[in-house]
Amino acid sequence: MSLPAVIDGHNDTLLRVRRHGGSLVERSEAGHLDVPRAREAGLAAGFFAVFVPSDRIDWAAIGEPPYEFPLAPPVDTDHAALEAAAMADLLVAAEGPLHLVRTAEEVERCIAGGPFGAILHLEGAEPIEPDLSNLDGWYERGLRSIGLVWSRQNAFASGAPGRYPGSADAGRGLTRAGRALVDACERLGIVVDVSHLNTRGVRGVLRRARGPVVATHSNAHAVCPSSRNLTDAELRAIAATGGVVGICFSVAMLRPDGRFDTRAPIADVVRHVDHIAEQAGIDHVALGSDFDGAVIPDEIGDVTGLPRVLEALRAAGYGDDDLRKVAHGNWLRVLREVWRG
């Protein structure tokens, strides 16, 4: 029996191409994702993150759990704006084999066998002016999803510190600018993503939002107690908005022991799906791989491993209807509700 098409909630392929070169639309062995491999895997559309990294992050210093490392330093906003524009332009340049989608109807066409769809997403709102004066301009260029922060502080909110085991309950909540940004996203029809937010920030978004809130790439804290993962209360609150949680393939967020070990089995992905479905309902679970932005299990390897994830869910007892919901149906429902037009 055939597998359903996939909408994936998060990748960092634009950053990989921006830093190391290469092509989005030509098959390559570099990184986790390009359009030919994505089409081969049944990936119909994905959220393409525009992310400008902070300097001076020594990831090698994290070591084995338990660990704790502070928030990354803030990024210069002028630099972030220039880099973000350059990465967004990579999607425009790839038009043809790839289509920058702006409406749910366009995503539906991608699922039905049309062009490969790219959803423009900001991972960290630093390119947005604190007075939101350029937000409409970003919307016009195709922006349809915003994560307020990465694991650092900006004018809108604060990120989650890196802890295992531990929680994200540290730091301030949404600023006045952050609250205004959530309201503006509601007005324009832009998805609001709470991945990387600290506890107060997540609560602030959930209190303020009047429509679906998502976590594009987060997992269940009860399964893996990383500070980047969501508590059961947060999972249920996101579901109450009509939102979804995209399961992230980062091994340190999948494995119950929190280790950066690529021998994590696909069964760990299934375990997070099971838990979120139990807490929030099957209508609120999706996929958010973090391809090209995380260390992922060897059993998945790259985007061509997506069918193995779906097969593992089928083997675990998920029927065709539930599998379609996890693969693309839940994301599509949210996009239909949030996006205008």
Tell whether 196 is covered by a domain.
yes
With 70 as the cut, is the pLDDT of residue 56 above it?
A: no
Question: Structurally, how many domains does the chain consist of?
Answer: 1
Overall pTM > 0.95:
yes
Q: Over 81-144, what HEC string results?
A: HHHHHHHHHHHHHCECCEEECCCHHHHHHHHCCCCEEEEEEEECCCCCCCCCCCHHHHHHCCEE
Interval 175-182 mean pLDDT: 98
Tell whether 126 is covered by a domain.
yes
What pLDDT was estimated at residue 55? 75
* 93-147 pLDDT tens trace: 999 999 999 999 999 999 999 999 999 999 999 999 999 999 999 999 999 999 9
Tell whether 277 is covered by a domain.
yes
Interval 25-35 mean pLDDT: 95
What pLDDT was estimated at residue 64? 82
Interval 16-31 mean pLDDT: 94
What is the average pLDDT score of the chain? 96
Percent of the residues in the chain that have a pLDDT greater than 70, as a whole number: 98
Tell whether 198 is covered by a domain.
yes
Tell whether 35 is covered by a domain.
yes
Interval 203-227 mean pLDDT: 98
* 121-136 pLDDT tens trace: 999 999 999 999 999 9
3 state DSSP class of 39: helix
What pLDDT was estimated at residue 60? 55
Tell whether 188 is covered by a domain.
yes
Tell whether 58 is covered by a domain.
yes
The enclosing domain of 162 has a CATH number of 3.20.20.140
* 246-302 pLDDT tens trace: 999 999 999 999 999 999 999 999 999 999 999 999 999 999 999 999 999 999 999
Q: State the pLDDT confidence band at 30, using cuts at 50, 70 and 90.
A: very high
Tell whether 1 is covered by a domain.
no
What pLDDT was estimated at residue 59? 57
Interval 197-208 mean pLDDT: 98
How much helix, strand and coil, in percent to the nearest 5, is found in the chain? Answer: 40, 15, 45
User: Crossing angle of helices 266-280/306-315, nearest 10°?
Assistant: 60
What pLDDT was estimated at residue 288? 98
* 293-321 pLDDT tens trace: 999 999 999 999 999 999 999 999 999 99
What pLDDT was estimated at residue 144? 98
Q: Show the domain range for 285.
A: 6-338
What pLDDT was estimated at residue 63? 72
Interval 169-192 mean pLDDT: 98
The amino acid at residue 116 is F
Q: State the pLDDT confidence band at 69, using cuts at 50, 70 and 90.
A: confident
| Helix extents (H) in the chain | 13-20, 35-41, 77-93, 104-111, 135-140, 176-188, 199-208, 232-240, 251-254, 266-280, 306-315, 320-324, 330-338
Q: State the pLDDT confidence band at 340, using cuts at 50, 70 and 90.
A: confident
